Amino acid sequence: MPHDFMPHGYCFFWNPLVLWLGVTSDGLIALSYYCIPLGLVYLVRKRRDLPFNWIFWMFGLFIVSCGTTHLMEIWNIWHASYLLAGVIKAITATTSLATALMLIPLIPKAIELPTDEQLRTLNYELRVQCVEREQVEAKLRATLAAREQTLASLAKHQSAVEKLELAQEALRESRQRMDAIIQSAMDAIITVDEQQAVVIFNAAAERMFGCTGEEALGAAITRFIPQRFHAAHAGHMKRFGETGVSSRSMGTLGAIWGVRANGEEFPVEASISHAESEGKKLFTVILRDVTERRQAEAAREWLAAVVDSSDDAIISKDLQGIIHAWNRGAEKIFGYTAAEMVGKPMATLFPADRMQEEKDILIRVGQGKSVEHFETVRLRKDGTQIDVSVTISPIRNSDGEVVGASKIARNITERKRADERLAAQAEELSRQTEELARSQHALEAKTRMLQLVLDSMGEGLVAADNEGHFLLWNDAANKLVGRPVAELPTAAWSLHYEIYLPDGVTPFPPDQHPLARALIGEEKFAEMVVRPPGEKYGKCLEVTARPMHDAQGGICGGVAAFRDVTERRAAEGQVKQLNQELEGRVLERTAELEAFTYSVSHDLRAPLRHMSGFTRILVEDFGPSMPAEAQRYLQRIEQGAQRMGVLVDELLNLTRIGRQPLKVQVTGLDSIVREVIALLEPESEGRQIEWKIGNLSFVECDPVLIRQVFQNLIGNALKYSRPRTCAVIEIGQETKDGASVILVKDNGVGFSMKYADKLFGVFQRLHRAEDFEGTGVGLATVARIIQKHGGRVWAEAELDRGATFYFTLGGSAAKAVSVAGGQS
Partner 1 sequence: MNATVDILLVEDNQDDLDLAMHALRQGKLANSIFVVRDGEEALDFLFCRGQFSDRTFDHPPKLVLLDLKLPKIDGLQVLKATKSDPQTKSIPIVIMTSSKEERDMIEGYNSGVNSYIQKPVDFDQFRTTVKTLGMYWLVVNQAPVNYAEPHAAGATHGR
Q: Which residues bind partner 1 (CB under 8 A)?
A: 597-598, 601-603, 605-610, 612-617, 638, 641-642, 644-646, 649, 652, 656, 660
- Find the shortest distance in angstroms from Cβ 770 to partner 1: 22
Distance of alpha carbon 618 from alpha carbon 372, whole angstroms: 126
- Least Å distance between CB 645 and partner 1? 3
How far, in Å, are 32, 96, 106, 157, 437 from residue 60 at the CA level?
A: 12, 10, 17, 71, 110
**Three-class SS state of 188:** strand
Q: Which residue number, 63 or 619, has a Cβ lying nearer to partner 1?
A: 619
759 touches 774 (CB < 8 A):
no
Q: For residue 402, give the 3-state DSSP assignment.
A: strand
Residue 793 beta carbon to partner 1: minimum distance, rounded to whole angstroms: 25
Which of residues 520 and 617 has its CB atom nearest to partner 1 in the complex? 617
Q: Residue 289 or 650: which CB sits closer to partner 1?
A: 650
Cβ nearer to partner 1, comparing 302 with 633: 633
- CB contact set of 358 (below 8 Å; sequence gap of 6+): 321, 346, 347, 350
Smaller CB distance to partner 1: residue 637 or 689? Answer: 637
- Nearest distance from C-beta of residue 562 to partner 1, angstroms: 52
Q: DSSP code of 222?
A: G
Within 10 Å of residue 469's Cβ, how many Cβ atoms?
A: 12
CB 634 to partner 1: min, Å:
12
Which residue intervals of 268-401 are DSSP H helices? 291-309, 328-334, 338-341, 355-366
Q: Cβ 775 to partner 1, closest distance in Å?
A: 13
Q: Give the number of other CB atoms < 10 A from CB of residue 710.
A: 23
Q: Shortest Cβ distance from residue 611 to partner 1 (Å)?
A: 9
Residue 733 C-alpha from the chain's centroid: 66
Q: CB nearer to partner 1: give 260 or 616.
A: 616
Residue (69 or 612) nearer to partner 1, CB = 612
CA gyration radius for the chain? 75
Q: How far is the CB of 644 from partner 1 (least distance, A)?
A: 8
Instruction: Name 236's Cβ contacts closer than 8 Å, sequence gap at least 6.
Output: 250
Residue with Cβ nearer partner 1 (228 or 663): 663
Q: Measured from the CB of residue 600, what is the shortest distance to partner 1 in angstroms?
A: 9
For residues 444 and 446, give the distance between their C-alpha atoms in angstroms, rounded to a whole number: 5
Give CB contacts under 8 A, 24+ apart, made by 185-191.
185/286, 186/288, 187/286, 187/287, 187/288, 188/285, 188/286, 188/287, 188/288, 188/289, 189/284, 189/285, 189/286, 189/287, 190/216, 190/221, 190/224, 190/284, 190/285, 190/287, 191/282, 191/283, 191/284, 191/285
Residue 411 or 612 having the CB closest to partner 1: 612
Q: Collect all residues with Cβ–Cβ distance below 8 Å to 73 and sequence separation of at least 6.
A: 8, 22, 26, 85
Give every CB contact of residue 511 below 8 A, 6+ residues apart in sequence.
491, 517
Pick the closer one to partner 1 by CB: 638 or 746: 638
Instruction: Supply the minimum distance, in Å, between the C-beta of residue 606 and partner 1.
Output: 5
